[in-house]
Amino acid sequence: MSKTAVVIIPTYNERENIKRTVAAVLEAFTAVSCWKMSILVVDDTSPDKTYEVVRELHKQHSNVELLLNQQKSGLGGAYLAGMAHAFGKLQADVVFEFDADLSHDPKKIPLFLKSIEGGSEMVLGTRYIPGGSMPKNWGLHRKIMSVGANLLISAVFANFKIRDWTSGYRAITKPVYEAVHPLLHSGLFSGYTFQIGFLYYALRKNFVIDPNIAYHFIDRTAGESKMGSEYLVKPLMFIFRMRLQEIMAMRVFKFLVVGATGAAVQLSSLMLYRFLLPTFDIGFFTTFFVASFLSIESAIIVNFILNNGWTFADRKLEEGKKLLKFLQFNLTSVGSILIQLGLAAIGEATIGLKPLFTVPVINFVVETGLIFAVTGILLGIGWNFFAYNKFIWKKK
Ligand SMILES: Nc1nc2c(ncn2[C@@H]2O[C@H](COP(=O)(O)OP(=O)(O)O)[C@@H](O)[C@H]2O)c(=O)[nH]1
Ligand SMILES: [Mg+2]
């Protein structure tokens, strides 16, 4: 049984373009075998009555359909409505995103389908790889903006395999749609945010994505673009918000926040104990050692509670094991102190304490001792993270 693919074309005031676009896509269908191909135009009741032209086309071609929205719902809203209709009533296995202004070369459609036959679950048309390009008539600054924005997105998500995050030429299989569309709603995900957001969630759900169908983006010759520079801020906010959420969910980040909290507790409680202890009249040195010990232990307790409840919440300790693990936790902390002292001792014995250089303006002299201390602290932090993972909150 052959599979079904629906090319979804959202339109808003594309009266001058839609006829040529539909003709070109139908022409491209003739090069496709083994797939049942159709076109679904999603029009938001365009003031220029684009939908009337589509109704005429539907009379001539049984595989050209119109979905008419009563209100303008933006690019994202149009695609979500179109996909629901295509995967539902039209029983599509794959849908295409395709612009009405002939910016996308329909002759590439068979390549997208080939990739899906080869196992891809989502396929991206891409402008910024060999074989693809931006419009010749775009000025240099517009090209730089376009490439720059996409490079920025790659950098923020640390994913340079995807070169074109905003391209509106894509093929999407049903499983991807079903996993991703509940996470999007047209209000928030309009314009480029819809394209970036859809791709972002497909990536996070680990679908097989082929980002390498190169195409030459042709500038529209009729009608107006709906995407102005006002569409830039929302996508930027989206990518930074998502990335921040990811970083804050990362174990290393939580571990560092907890560590810093512990350090703050240690310092402030040290001051408190040194203020309170003299009332017991136990002498200066005893006071000093007891206060130091109590403040370190306070920090350890805070660290233990926060790491157990937050950093390692997914590996929370059983009630019965907590006491033993807490004692082990104290030992790992001793380990980190020993590492720091050991490094300082070795450094002093081999290199010795001497000034290295002076920071200009503030006249701060950097000494080898400072280097030993900083290295020791970093090693101590590394040891703690290793030991927590290895001994205290082991992977289950
Ligand atoms: N149904 C619908 N289509 C839209 C809307 N906004 C844009 N489009 C269509 O989406 C496609 C891409 O829009 P376009 O303005 O060409 O964006 P650009 O290529 O980034 O400049 C075109 O086919 C538009 O007609 C909208 O609000 N509703
Ligand atoms: Mg366009």
Question: For ligand 1, what atom is nearest to the CA of residue 220?
Answer: 16
Query: Taking the CB of residue 72, how many other CB atoms lie within 10 A of it?
Result: 14
Please state, in angstroms and rounded to a whole number, the distance separating the CA atoms of residues 396 and 391: 12
Q: Separation of 269 CA from ligand 2 center, angstroms?
A: 62
Task: Write phi, then psi, for 105 (nearest 5 degrees).
Answer: -80, 110
How would you write the pLDDT of the chain (396 residues) with one tens digit per residue? 699 999 999 999 999 999 999 999 999 999 999 999 999 999 999 999 999 999 999 999 999 999 999 999 889 999 999 999 999 999 999 999 999 999 999 999 999 999 999 999 999 999 999 999 999 988 899 899 889 999 999 999 999 999 999 999 999 999 999 999 999 976 678 888 999 999 999 999 999 999 999 999 999 888 888 876 667 888 999 999 999 999 999 999 999 999 999 999 999 999 998 888 877 777 878 888 888 899 999 999 999 999 999 999 999 999 999 999 999 999 999 999 899 889 988 988 898 888 888 988 888 888 888 888 889 999 999 999 999 999 999 987
Residues 185 and 146 in one domain: yes
Which residues, in sequence order, are CB contacts of 21 under 8 Å at separation 6+?
9, 14, 98, 99, 100, 101, 102
pLDDT for 233 equals: 86
77 touches 43 (CB < 8 A): no
Q: How far is the CA of 103 from the centre of ligand 2 (A)?
A: 6
The per-residue pLDDT for 356 is 87
Q: Which of 313, 325, 153, 310 is nearest to 243 (CA)?
A: 153
Closest by CA to 304, choosing from 392, 202, 375, is: 392
Give me ligand 1 centre to Cα 111, in Å.
24
Ligand 1 atom 7 nearest Cα: 75
pTM: 0.82
CB 7 within 8 A of CB 96: yes
Query: Are residues 143 and 208 part of one domain?
Result: yes
Mutate to test the pocket of ligand 1, among 226, 230, 232 (most ligand atoms within 8 A of CB): 226
Q: Are residues 259 and 238 in the same domain?
A: no
Å from CA of 225 to ligand 2 middle: 6
Question: HSE of 325 in the Cβ direction (CA atoms, 13 Å)?
Answer: 21
Q: How many CB atoms lie within 10 A of CB 211?
A: 21
The Cα 258–Cα 343 span in angstroms is: 24
How far is ligand 1, taken at its centre, from the CA of residue 46, in Å?
11
Considering the domain architecture, whether residues 255 and 238 belong to the same structural domain is answered as no
What is the spatial distance between Cα 13 and Cα 49, in angstroms, rounded to a whole number?
7
CA separation for the pair 53, 15 (Å, rounded): 7
Range of the domain at 38: 3-242
Atom 12 of ligand 1, nearest CA residue: 99
Q: Are strands 94-97 and 3-11 parallel, antiparallel or unpaired?
A: parallel
Domain end among 242, 264, 280: 242
- The binding-site residues of ligand 1, defined as CB within 6 angstroms of any ligand atom, are 10-12, 14, 42-44, 72-75, 78, 99-101, 103, 168, 220, 225-227
Longest dimension (CA), the chain: 101
Q: How many structural domains comprise the chain?
A: 2
What CATH number does residue 208 fall under?
3.90.550.10
Tokens matching residue 31:
């090069």
Ligand 1 closest atom vs CA 100: 23
On whether both 176 and 117 belong to a single domain, the answer is yes
b vs e for 260-278, b when ≥16 Cβ sit within 10 Å of the residue's Cβ?
Answer: eebeebbeebbeebbeebe
Ligand nearest to the CA of 97: 1
pLDDT of residue 230: 63
DSSP per position, 115-168: HHHTT-SEEEEESSSTT-B--TTS-HHHHHHHHHHHHHHHHHTT--S---SS-S
Residue 179 tokens, joined: 């996993």
Q: How many CB atoms lie within 10 A of CB 48?
A: 14
Measured CA to CA, the distance from residue 305 to residue 297 in angstroms comes to 12
270 lies in the same domain as 159: no
Q: How far is the CA of 39 from the centre of ligand 1 (A)?
A: 16
Torsion (CA) 108, 110, 116, 117 in degrees, nearest 10: -150
Indicate if 117 and 180 belong to the same structural domain: yes
Domain boundary (242, 262, 280) is at 242
**pLDDT score, position 186:** 61
Place of tokens 């139908």: 26
**191-204 vs 233-249: helix axis angle to the nearest 10?**
20
Ligand 1 atom having least distance to the Cα of 73: 27
Q: Do 230 and 278 fall into the same domain?
A: no
Nearest CA, atom 25, ligand 1: 11
Domain boundary among 226, 242, 258: 242
CA of 120 to the centre of ligand 1 (A): 26
My answer on whether 149 and 167 are in the same domain is yes
Same domain (yes/no): 164, 130: yes
